[in-house]
Amino acid sequence: MALSIVRKEISNLGIKNLSRPYWYFYILELDSKPCVKLGKSCVNLEKRIINYLDKEHPTQAKNWDSFKLISVVEFEDKEYISPFEMFIKKCVKKYPLHKDQHSNIEQYNLMKVWPKVKQMILQKKFPFSSDFYCVNEPDKVINDFLKNYKEKNKDKNKTLEFDYKNIKERDILDKINSMTYSDYKKIHQIGKMLAERLTENKPFTNLSQIKDISGIAQKRYDYIISHVTGLLESSLVTILTIF
């Protein structure tokens, strides 16, 4: 289903050659929140989007019916796209989708990012770009998306509230102990060897024991905690009120 939706969105924008250097901007309801993802593709636009959502972040809850490719900017040379992408990312990193999102994850709060980049897209201001593809009335498309999201969650927002601080250390520990070898391998920078060590050393009685495993220093430990916290948050039938 995901492939057919992405393929249809690309086709709707009239893009024929998928292998040009592109900067893309799409929206999606991700983990029950309005998400915007922007990034570059220098190999194959279709495969890049699918790989990011289905392989790099397979555990996230995705409402594929809400997926909308807003705009795609073509560049003559891939060297032109990198500084532009770095500038945009630097400007929107202050609006992460998740409150405690790791800095390497490029998923942003649509409600806060769209007002910041709207004029750039509406006015097609992309230095060194060679072509531009966009949905009709992108501002209306995104505002309708947000309106539908708020309407759908109106009643839930009245009764449900969740704060990441409510996820206790014990919750994280219990989740880690319940995970399998395959689950561990899905964590960023946790390969076969570390997944085996995690499996062999559980159950853990406290989180600090994870850092006693050879190969897991502070950075990988942070990846594990961030990943598990995300799993716990997405498993709850709640609506964050951080937007």
Question: Could you tell me if 204 and 172 are in contact, meaning their C-beta atoms sit under 8 angstroms apart?
Answer: no
What is the domain count for the chain?
2
Instruction: Clarify whether residues 13 and 41 are in a common domain.
Output: yes
Instruction: Clarify whether residues 136 and 198 are in a common domain.
Output: no
Q: Domain for residue 240, yes or no? A: no
Instruction: Clarify whether residues 177 and 208 are in a common domain.
Output: yes
Task: Give residue-wise pLDDT tens across range 35-89.
Answer: 999 999 999 999 999 999 988 888 889 999 999 999 999 999 889 998 888 888 8
Q: Domain for residue 134, yes or no? A: yes
Q: Which pair of structure tokens corresponds to residue 95?
A: 């609006």
Average pLDDT value for residue range 121-150:
92
Instruction: Clarify whether residues 44 and 147 are in a common domain.
Output: yes
- Which pLDDT value is given to residue 166? 55
Q: Domain for residue 242, yes or no? A: no
- Which pLDDT value is given to residue 236? 54
Residue 162: pLDDT over 50: no
Instruction: Clarify whether residues 61 and 20 are in a common domain.
Output: yes
Instruction: Measure the CA–CA gap between 44 and 187, rounded to whole angstroms.
Output: 25
- Which pLDDT value is given to residue 156? 56
Residue 219 CB neighbours (<10 A): 10
Q: Which pair of structure tokens corresponds to residue 215?
A: 């190969």
Q: Domain for residue 241, yes or no? A: no
Instruction: Clarify whether residues 147 and 190 are in a common domain.
Output: no
Instruction: Measure the CA–CA gap between 155 and 175, rounded to whole angstroms.
Output: 29
- Which pLDDT value is given to residue 152? 81
Single pTM value for the model: 0.64
Residue 155 CB neighbours (<10 A): 10
Instruction: Clarify whether residues 100 and 206 are in a common domain.
Output: no
Task: Give residue-wise pLDDT tens across range 164-219.
Answer: 445 678 888 889 999 999 999 989 889 999 999 999 999 998 898 999 999 999 98
Instruction: Clarify whether residues 45 and 96 are in a common domain.
Output: yes
The strands making up 108-109's β-sheet, listed across from edge to edge, are 108-109, 33-41, 22-30, 62-75, 129-134
Q: Domain for residue 136, yes or no? A: yes
Q: Domain for residue 119, yes or no? A: yes
Instruction: Measure the CA–CA gap between 40 and 84, rounded to whole angstroms.
Output: 10
Nearest CA among 12, 142, 167, 121 for reference residue 66: 142
Instruction: Clarify whether residues 145 and 168 are in a common domain.
Output: no
Residue 123: pLDDT over 80: yes
Angstrom distances, CA of residue 43 to CA of 46, 106, 214: 9, 19, 36
Instruction: Clarify whether residues 68 and 171 are in a common domain.
Output: no
Task: Give residue-wise pLDDT tens across range 89-117.
Answer: 888 998 999 887 888 889 999 999 999 99
Q: Report the CATH number at residue 207.
A: 1.10.150.280
Cross-strand pairs, 33: 30
Average pLDDT value for residue range 113-141:
93
Which residues span the domain enclosing 175?
Answer: 164-235
Q: Which pair of structure tokens corresponds to residue 21?
A: 């250097």
- Which pLDDT value is given to residue 241? 35
- Which pLDDT value is given to residue 9? 96
